[in-house]
Amino acid sequence: MSKPATTRFQPPAIDKLPEDIRTRILAVQEKSGFVPNVFLTLAYRPDEFRAFFAYHDALMEKDSGLTKAEREMIVVATSAANQCHYCVIAHGAILRIRAKTPVIADQIAVNYRKADVTPRQRAMLDFAMKVARQAETVDEADSAVLRGHGFSDDDVWDIAAIAAFFSMSNRLANFASLRPNDEFYALGRS
């Protein structure tokens, strides 16, 4: 039997959850075959659950000038910089699936500067890291570099917003010692 999502806050039983939250959790279980622990942990706070996933979906699921794989690259790089177990392992799996390669997630998690990414993606990750680690120094020159790689102003917003959203998410998961489900480690590796 696998270990609990987190030892700090006991998530309620799924059938005790508010209808909309239970529905979302059952949908992800249906699709993935398991319930990612972030759903169970945030369900402890229904209003925060709803806002968190609404924000997540607004950034990660919509149409964008960034592919879904590229957005997951930003998540993995940011989460690695913040040493977030849950986010690196879970989004590493999603990145492997979306990028259709078994190596890119581990490469970005260890050192994105050495990963097999395009120069455009490298610029994207450099900027995401700047937002994640030294946002106080971001200025117009950073956007100019990105435009030189073909990113639109909306793409720049997306990169920054994803790096910022996971700067929050990484801190929540580290605070709660949120444990990645064992299923994530092997997903997308073959």
* Site residues for its own copies per CB under 8 A: 8-9, 44-45, 47-48, 50-52, 54-55, 57-59, 62, 80, 82-85, 88-89, 92, 102-103, 106-107, 109-111, 113-114, 131-132, 135-140, 143, 153, 157, 160-161, 163-165, 167-172, 174-177, 182, 185-186, 189-190
**C-alpha span between 67 and 71 (Å, rounded):** 6
**C-alpha span between 122 and 145 (Å, rounded):** 11
Q: How far is the CB of 150 from its own copies (least distance, A)?
A: 18
Q: Select 30 or 78, whichever has its Cβ closest to its own copies.
A: 78
Q: How far is the CB of 35 from its own copies (least distance, A)?
A: 18
In the DSSP assignment, the letter for residue 15 is G
**Both tokens of residue 134?**
């030294």
Q: How far is the CB of 48 from its own copies (least distance, A)?
A: 5
Q: How far is the CB of 38 from its own copies (least distance, A)?
A: 13
Q: Select 35 or 163, whichever has its Cβ closest to its own copies.
A: 163
Q: Select 19 or 140, whichever has its Cβ closest to its own copies.
A: 140
User: Can you state the angle between helices 85-99 and 68-81, rounded to 10 degrees?
Assistant: 160
Helix (H) or strand (E) holding 144: helix 140-148
Give 83: exposed, middle or buried? Use CB within 10 Å, 0-12, 13-18, 19+: exposed
Q: How far is the CB of 28 from its own copies (least distance, A)?
A: 18
> For the chain, how big is the Rg over CA atoms in Å?
17
Q: Select 26 or 113, whichever has its Cβ closest to its own copies.
A: 113
Q: How far is the CB of 81 from its own copies (least distance, A)?
A: 10
**C-alpha span between 92 and 188 (Å, rounded):** 9
Q: Select 70 or 180, whichever has its Cβ closest to its own copies.
A: 180
**C-alpha span between 65 and 53 (Å, rounded):** 21
